[in-house]
């Protein structure tokens, strides 16, 4: 059985009872970053063989996981943080399980995109999750332009190193729309900033972005 197990996005108390039960019971834990996952497992005194599964080895590691599943072993897939299969290669494993008729399920839990969207106060009945945008400006602008006329609320993941450039490009492409920035959700310095994109960008004039960010932008 393949289990997609959501894990905390910061605060370890957000782990669910089912996630702990599952991680204790499975034969293997597959994860993007075995060191990070090792720390999580150690915190909960769980000792399991780990399999590294990330975008650079997803073919080989995916084949290995499928072999184990076909032999009757159970495998839990966890992401670096939050919900596996969101902005990581988890979906390729789900697809293989579907194609091979292998049993699979999910232990749901935290996800940065859902928490940021809900706390943004922007309409959440219809939204587009756009994940990470391209690193280079030209590609990033073209990527943002795809949603210029969309009426859905837009949700982006962004690294602290590119957040200011991302906000400038968002202003250039979308105009000065209402938006929100979520930072370090569930952690000690959790914060939400709300305002027009230009106000949010101005907030970084004297302070460099730090930690993990989700940007939520109103639709057109």
Task: For the chain, give the number of residues.
Answer: 220
Q: Would you state the torsion angle of the CA atoms of residues 114, 166, 208, 13, taken in this order, to the nearest 10 degrees? A: 10
Token couple for 77: 């897939």
Told to check if 8 binds ligand SAM by CB under 6 A, we report: no
Closest CB 11 distance from ligand SAM, rounded Å = 8
Nearer residue to ligand SAM within complex by CB, 50 or 73 = 50
**Per-residue x/- track, 53-92, ligand SAM (CB under 6 A):** --------------------------xxxxx--xxx----
**Distance set, CA 54 to CA 58, 79, 90 (Å):** 5, 9, 8
| Region 169-198 residues binding ligand SAM, contact defined as CB under 6 A | 182, 184-187
31 contacts ligand SAM (rule: CB under 6 A): no
Residue of 5, 7, 10, 122 that binds ligand SAM (CB under 6 A): 10
Using CB under 6 A as the binding rule, whether residue 133 contacts ligand SAM is answered as: no
Using CA atoms of 75, 81, 86, 89 in order, give the dihedral in degrees to the nearest 10.
-50
Closest-by-Cβ residue to ligand SAM is 82
Q: What are phi and psi of 123, to 5 degrees?
A: -55, 130
Nearer to ligand SAM, 20 or 73 (CB): 20
Nearer residue to ligand SAM within complex by CB, 55 or 149: 55
Which residue among 37, 111, 133, 153 contacts ligand SAM (CB under 6 A)?
111
* 163/214 Cα distance (integer angstroms): 9
The reply on whether position 127 binds ligand SAM by CB under 6 A is: no
Closest CB 181 distance from ligand SAM, rounded Å: 9
Distances in Å between the Cα of 166 and the Cα atoms of 65, 135, 174 are 36, 9, 12
- Please tell me whether residue 14 binds ligand SAM under the rule CB under 6 A: no
Contact (CB, 8 A) for 218 and 179: yes
For ligand SAM, which is the closer residue by CB, 73 or 129?
129
Reduced to 3 states (helix: H, G, I; strand: E, B; else coil), residue 36 is helix
User: How far is Cα 88 from Cα 154, in angstroms, rounded to an integer?
Assistant: 19
Q: Which lies closer to ligand SAM via its Cβ, residue 44 or residue 161?
A: 161
Backbone angles phi, psi at 5, to 5 degrees: -110, 120
Contact residues for ligand SAM (CB under 6 A)? 9-10, 79-83, 86-88, 111-113, 157-159, 182, 184-187, 212-214
């Amino acid at each position: 059985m393949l289990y997609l197990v959501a894990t905390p996005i910061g605060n370890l108390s957000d782990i669910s009872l089912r996630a702990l039960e599952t991680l204790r019971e499975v034969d293997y834990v597959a994860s993007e970053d075995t060191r990070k996952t090792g720390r999580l497992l150690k915190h909960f005194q769980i000792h399991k063989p780990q399999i590294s599964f990330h975008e650079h080895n997803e073919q080989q590691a995916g084949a290995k996981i499928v072999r184990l599943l076909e032999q009757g072993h159970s495998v839990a897939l966890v992401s670096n943080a939050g919900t596996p299969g969101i902005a990581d290669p988890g979906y390729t494993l789900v697809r293989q399980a579907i194609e091979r008729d292998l049993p699979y399920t999910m232990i749901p839990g935290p996800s940065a995109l859902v928490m940021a969207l809900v706390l943004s106060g922007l309409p959440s009945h219809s939204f587009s999750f756009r994940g990470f945008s391209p690193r280079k400006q030209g590609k990033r602008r073209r990527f943002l332009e795809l949603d210029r006329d969309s009426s859905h609320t837009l949700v982006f993941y962004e690294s602290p190193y590119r957040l200011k450039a991302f906000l400038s490009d968002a202003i250039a492409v979308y105009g000065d729309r209402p938006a929100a920035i979520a930072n370090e959700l569930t952690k000690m310095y959790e914060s939400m900033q709300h305002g027009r994109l230009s106000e949010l960008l101005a907030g970084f004039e004297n302070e460099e972005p730090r930690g993990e960010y989700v940007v939520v932008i109103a639709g057109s």
